[in-house]
Structure 1
Amino acid sequence: MTISSSIQAQFFLNLKSTIPSYSSLVDEVAETLNLSMDSAYRRIRGEKLLDFEELRTLCHKYNISLDRFFSMDSNSILFQGKTNSYREDSFMQWMEDVQSQLNLVNSFSHKHVYFLVKDMPPFHHYYHPALAGFKFFFWMKSILLFESLKHSKFSIEDNHFEKYREITLRTIKVYNRVPTSEIWNEEGLNTTLRQIEVYHEMGLIKQAKDTIFLYNCVLEVIDHLEKMAETGKKSIFGHAPTEDSAEYKMYLNEIVLGDNTFMAELGETKITYLNHSVMYFIGSTDKNFNESMFKNLENLMKRSSLISGTGEKERKQFFNKLRKKVESKLCLVEV
């Protein structure tokens, strides 16, 4: 089986967008297919058509599906992604996949990430170890359904963060180097606050003082987000921005409730990630789909208030409203 030279050209164009910008396409193809540089060049230029085994090898290594190349004039939109394997190592796999995607984005000289926020992005939970530990516990117990946590209750002392400390810190380090625009509204904290509240009411948090501590962690993260919005730069929790800190733009939209759409610009390529199964995402590099999604994000940002680096009054009002949400939950906790 071989493919036409035009489809092969599209295939290699797509493959190029999946490798880091510092890598050479011909080097990658030659190494993967165990070819000489000349033979790799001939395939990339379309002078030599790929056979089925070569296609299979390249698709497997670079996670590419041929569907989009053989359905280029259809209305179908191809997405790729992973689902819950319901294994005890699935959370670490999820963490590694998130870090891998961020590393890919960060490898490009031109890069930007856009969030249409429904729930506070997972990276912001990572800023505070105790809050990250709670989210990890919640995801593993209630979403991934770890059998080992079936009868467990959350406790700060159990330190569910420690096992994932190294990969969490690596992820935050990379995330802080990627310029980001987020479109928020006041509902952005509701999911995390509700998770803490429900676990408390169900007796799944061992002690009331732990519930209070978690709410105070959220308040500290809010303070940190406000500082990032004020400077317009990302930073490590409790620290000022550095020379490596990327741009951070926060928009306030009081009308549209986000859906956790996540879009990344990688050079000339865009990828849209759609949320599914609470914590998983599927992604598409479909050009027409991404251009449409990007225009939608641009329109939303134009109809939103930029509260990072400017708009001090609106920024203070917004973050004070977020604090009041948390404080209202704190008042209901009986020690």
Structure 2
Amino acid sequence: MLFSKLTVLSFIQNNNFKTQPMVSSDIQVQFFQYLKSLLPPYKSLVDEISDLLDISNDSAYRRIRGEKFIDLDEIKKISQYFNVSLDQLFNLQTDAIVFQGKLNKYDNLSFDAWLDDMQAQLEMVNSHKNKHIYFLVKDMPPFYHFYQEELANFKFFFWKKSILHYDNLKGIKFSLEEGFTQKYKEACSKITRLYNKIPSTEIWNVEGINTTLRQIDLYTEMGIIQSVDVSKKLYQCMLEIVDHLEKMAEKGKKFGINQEPSEDSLEFRMFVNEFIIGDNTFMAEVDSVRITYLNHSVLYFLGSRDPKFNDSMFVSLENLVKKSTMISSIGEKERNQFFNKLRKKILLRMEALV
């Protein structure tokens, strides 16, 4: 779910623009203020611009203050480096909402690239001092599948075989012993650690684990899972993750599976909304910037930093929170009821296995 780089190069070339200054120093100042908001606190905008444009710090300062105009060649370099669009660049007041993202290339590198992108986005969020993430859950967030190697291995197999259509998996059955490389183990460990280092608010529904359960069901029925024992193990992994989620909700903290929260554990707010099934909308607040990620093509996300759009999305999430039941830290009765419903779904499937 990493933003892909968008540039203004094709726009400039297609319109036969010549190098010229921006039309307003006010727009330029606002633009650099926006760029500054994208940087983590430990980075200096002056140093970034100076290195990027190969100019002195004094020249960078004059551009940032609007005393010297940036030309279109510099605009192109800046847009490429900071992943900004032409609409953002000129602060146009339009109804357009700018999104960035990647698409499935349907090759045997797609999944690894997707996994790297997920890690990069979490690293980006973690690079900021003030951060919070919001998740409107339709399917159990991918990070939780990564707690259990066997379940992560199954999800990776399913995504590659049935979503990304890897040719080398045609006719192959899933087994616990194959496919889960050392790279995948390290990636899962790192991604779960990164996710647990960010305070979060998640809005769930009792349907939140259905997708993964249905995937196990289907592969079992189709004979794609090697044996009934493997299916039982996957359901057992789901039970253990549900138990861990309940434990995090009880403590109101995020921490690793089979561990206890520490003084450094971050806030975990969990809500249940019985009326709305989420759509996997993911929002990150990093310092003064909000980024909304919308799910598409099952695995992929499009992201937007558009302020108007993100402010509207945040209000929508706040309203959903107000109409939901909090089951983290408080609400023991509601918490027990919710997690017992999830466990019942899994246990019924385990009992049905022959």
**Per the shorter chain, which TM-score range?**
over 0.9
What is the CA–CA distance in structure 1 between the aligned matches of 2:256 and 2:333, rounded to whole Å?
25
Question: Are 1:2 and 2:21 matched, yes or no?
Answer: yes
2:217 to 197, 201, 205: 197
- Contact preservation (8 Å) 1:130, 1:159: no
What is the CA–CA distance in structure 1 between the aligned matches of 2:233 and 2:353, rounded to whole Å?
11
- Contact preservation (8 Å) 2:153, 2:180: yes
Deviates most, 166-175 or 219-228: 166-175
| Alignment partner, residue 131 of structure 2 | 111
CA offsets 1:201-230 (integer angstroms, 9 cap, x no match): 111111111111001000000011011001
What is the CA–CA distance in structure 1 between the aligned matches of 2:266 and 2:53, rounded to whole Å?
37
- Contact preservation (8 Å) 2:249, 2:327: yes
The letter for the 2-side match of 1:279 is L
| Alignment partner, residue 255 of structure 1 | 275
1:309 to 329, 335, 350: 329
Report the RMSD for the aligned CA atoms in angstroms: 1.4
Report how many residues are paired. 334
| Alignment partner, residue 159 of structure 2 | 139
The letter for the 1-side match of 2:75 is L
The letter for the 1-side match of 2:231 is T
* Aligned residue runs from structure 1 range 103-252, under 5 A: 103-160=123-180, 162-252=182-272
Deviates most, 158-167 or 322-331: 158-167
- Contact preservation (8 Å) 1:235, 1:241: yes
- Contact preservation (8 Å) 2:28, 2:66: yes
Question: Are 1:17 and 2:2 matched, yes or no?
Answer: no
| Alignment partner, residue 55 of structure 2 | 35
Alpha carbons of structure 1 residues 146 and 10: separation in structure 2 relative to 1, 3 Å: farther
Question: Are 1:289 and 2:300 matched, yes or no?
Answer: no
1:159: how far off? 4.5
| Alignment partner, residue 12 of structure 2 | none
- Contact preservation (8 Å) 1:10, 1:69: no
- Contact preservation (8 Å) 2:27, 2:91: no
Deviates most, 110-119 or 234-243: 234-243
CA offsets 1:77-128 (integer angstroms, 9 cap, x no match): 1111111122222212111111111111112221100000000011111111
Deviates most, 89-98 or 116-125: 89-98
What is the CA–CA distance in structure 1 between the aligned matches of 2:54 and 2:175, rounded to whole Å?
52
1:134: how far off? 0.8
- Contact preservation (8 Å) 1:129, 1:161: no
What is the CA–CA distance in structure 1 between the aligned matches of 2:117 and 2:56, rounded to whole Å?
31
What is the CA–CA distance in structure 1 between the aligned matches of 2:27 and 2:102, rounded to whole Å?
26
Question: Are 1:45 and 2:45 matched, yes or no?
Answer: no
What is the CA–CA distance in structure 1 between the aligned matches of 2:153 and 2:36, rounded to whole Å?
37
| Alignment partner, residue 87 of structure 2 | 67
- Contact preservation (8 Å) 1:177, 1:245: yes
What is the CA–CA distance in structure 2 between the aligned matches of 1:88 and 1:17, rounded to whole Å?
36
- Contact preservation (8 Å) 2:31, 2:91: no
- Contact preservation (8 Å) 2:283, 2:292: yes
Query: Which ranges in structure 1 are unaligned for 5 or more consecutive residues?
Result: none
Query: Which ranges in structure 2 are unaligned for 5 or more consecutive residues?
Result: 1-19
What is the CA–CA distance in structure 2 between the aligned matches of 1:276 and 1:219, rounded to whole Å?
28
The letter for the 1-side match of 2:210 is N
1:153: how far off? 1.5
Over the matched positions of the two proteins, sequence identity in percent amounts to 54
